[in-house]
Amino acid sequence: MPTPLHDRPISDRIKALQALSRQHAANYCSSSATLARERYLAQHPTRLLVLKCMDGRIHIPHATRTPLGIITPFRNLGGIFNLGWPYLGELITEAVAEGIRAGHGSLLMITYHFSRGERLRGCSGFGCEAGAALAHARQIRAQAEQLFGQDHQHVYPLVCGFETDTDALILHGEGDDTLDIGNIDAADGDSLGARVAALCPDMPADIRRDLLPLMEGNLAHASSLRGVARHLDIEHREWVICVGRGFDFLHLPNTALIVGPYGPDLAEPIGTAADIIDANMAAGRIPEDGFMLLASTPFQAVGVDRARAELKSHFLADFATKVIHQRHPWLAERMHRHTAVVHWPTRRLDLIDTRSGGSR
């Protein structure tokens, strides 16, 4: 049996992650994937924005069988967001405005996750309490209504649960009404349109039209897993701290802790991520030879846009390094720091600096 990735030397783990990034970019840029995106967007132009936890199990494109690049993800430690955060608010409003200028609405999917089989497999950001995670998602929905209007005609904020044992989505309507894909038979896929309309009667027809392929894909995906043995009790063995954006390639369970650059206080989530890595080493869940810090910023074009991305990534790497040195000096000496930018049109990750051994 090959040695699991978590148990390999840090150099091997980093090489494996870099190879994964290259493969992701190659898949994204392939002729088939490019044509699939263009065809999909021509048929379903609603902008799809997803707020989600950084947990690698929550892979919405995979779980809905949607082509890569259609869904715009916002990932953060614990799935904790606030639309009042200046940078997050700017990113989301600009994404919405881009769609509006093209004559299209937006679907804002506000997700939380939980496990029906074992509470402790839920989201650690909310103490594995599904009720607390759902309450937070509803708070974000209320903020979205304040931001974009309560009539939901241009931006529809939809609270969605993700049940990680089955990969099934649970759509929440008003009150306690839900549509649980995990409780629908694959043969009843034709009824999804009527079910969504009944659950969300105020959803514009064009947005509902473009939500349906996600629901149909999720029904097919979840149905394919029924009766299939899955290893669900996965031990947390994270060994990567990611700071920034552009980590679409990273959907390996229990591998990376992703801190989005959205909130005004980055020190606390970075410190929490370092706490987790330190605990993983102390418990022997990962080797003590090192962990990876990866700072990344996406850019669209060469020139000023890339230069700004480089400056931002260097800042994030320096800031995270300082926090980790202050909070866990011993751990900082085992840090392998990689600073990168991501060419967003191709999803290519370009390394611009690497340092090891706790250097600042």
Are 258 and 53 in contact, with CB atoms under 8 Å apart?
no
Question: For 110-119, what is each residue's pLDDT tens digit?
Answer: 999 988 888 7
Question: For 315-337, what is each residue's pLDDT tens digit?
Answer: 999 999 999 999 999 999 999 99
Q: pTM to 2 decimals?
A: 0.91
**Tokens for 149?**
């209007």
Residue 5 to residue 202: CA distance in whole angstroms:
47
Residue 40 to residue 70: CA distance in whole angstroms:
8
**Tokens for 257?**
């802790």
Residue 114 to residue 119: CA distance in whole angstroms:
7
User: Cβ atoms within 10 A of the Cβ of 224, count?
Assistant: 12
In DSSP terms, which residues pair with 121 in a beta bridge?
A: none
Cβ burial 226-262 (10 Å sphere, 16+ → b, else e):
eeeeeeeeeeebbbbbbbbbbbbbbbbbbbbbbbbbb
Average pLDDT over residues 73-86: 90
Quote the pLDDT of residue 251.
Answer: 81
Contacts 24+ apart (CB under 8 A), 187-192: 189/216, 189/219, 189/220, 192/216, 192/219
Contact residues for 129 (Cβ-Cβ < 8 A; gap 6+) = 119, 122
Residue 102 to residue 118: CA distance in whole angstroms:
44
**Tokens for 305?**
């846009």
pLDDT band at 228 (very low <50, low <70, confident <90, very high): confident
Question: For 141-188, what is each residue's pLDDT tens digit?
Answer: 999 999 999 999 999 999 999 998 899 999 999 888 999 999 999 888
Are 346 and 301 in contact, with CB atoms under 8 Å apart?
no
